[in-house]
């Protein structure tokens, strides 16, 4: 008995790695001035969220590869009395650890090229996490860089409010893997 041929849609579905490459290139192709405007719009969306404004410790991220840059917003949060924390990879197959950080603190690059606090003295548990997305789908699943660090982190912190952050051009179709966990919500420059 022969196997049915895959549909055109299935045949054209890129692998997760190819999809990552396509989406990262889309971000890079967007002009800097346009991305900066999108960053302002994303920050405006985030300012409206009680999960941001009513929490004491917020896990943030250092942008890489043309991810939404929220650094000005981080300064606002810190000035308003919020404590911020940046993720650090401690081991290959583990959850991320979050270390307290403030804008202006000395930073260094980790093995992945991500800026992390140079002084990692105070590990904290954030109740709200801003999580960058390479891509995302309609069910709020996030496509990251493939290391699984945020999925392990969310599994370890099931009560944390996870806010995926991406540009709208990152919306795509992909099937969630067994270990994937959906974001509590997603914010883009065009969030409803």
Domain map (residue ranges) of the chain: 13-187
- CB neighbours (10 Å) of residue 39? 21
The pLDDT tens digits for 86-133 are: 999 998 889 999 999 999 999 999 988 899 999 998 999 999 999 999
Q: What is the pLDDT of residue 166?
A: 97
Q: Do the Cβ atoms of 20 and 143 come closer than 8 Å? A: yes
28: nearest Cα among 73, 74, 63, 62: 63
What is the mean pLDDT of the segment spanning 72-85?
96
Domain 13-187: top CATH class: alpha beta
Give CA–CA dist 95/81, Å, rounded: 27
Q: What is the pLDDT of residue 128?
A: 97
- Answer whether residue 156 shows pLDDT above 90: yes
Q: What is the pLDDT of residue 13?
A: 65
Q: What is the pLDDT of residue 192?
A: 58
- Answer whether residue 22 shows pLDDT above 80: yes
pTM of the model: 0.89
Q: Do the Cβ atoms of 61 and 87 come closer than 8 Å? A: yes
């Amino acid at each position: 008995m022969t196997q049915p041929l895959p549909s055109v849609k299935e045949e054209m579905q890129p692998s997760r790695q190819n999809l990552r490459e396509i989406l990262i290139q889309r971000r890079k192709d967007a002009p800097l001035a346009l991305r900066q405007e999108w960053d302002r719009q994303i920050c405006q969306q985030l300012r409206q969220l009680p999960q941001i404004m009513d929490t004491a410790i917020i896990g943030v991220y250092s942008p890489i590869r043309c991810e939404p840059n929220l650094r000005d917003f981080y300064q606002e949060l810190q000035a308003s009395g919020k404590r911020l924390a940046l993720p650090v990879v401690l081991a290959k197959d583990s959850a991320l650890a979050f270390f307290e950080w403030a804008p202006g603190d000395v930073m260094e690059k980790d093995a992945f090229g991500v800026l992390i606090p140079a002084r990692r003295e105070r590990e904290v548990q954030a109740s709200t996490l801003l999580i960058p997305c390479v891509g995302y789908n309609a069910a709020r699943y996030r496509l990251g860089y493939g290391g699984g660090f945020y999925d392990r982190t969310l599994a370890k912190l099931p009560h944390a409010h996870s806010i995926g952050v991406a540009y709208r051009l990152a919306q795509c179709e992909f099937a969630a893997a067994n270990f994937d966990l959906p974001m509590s919500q997603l914010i883009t420059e065009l969030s409803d």
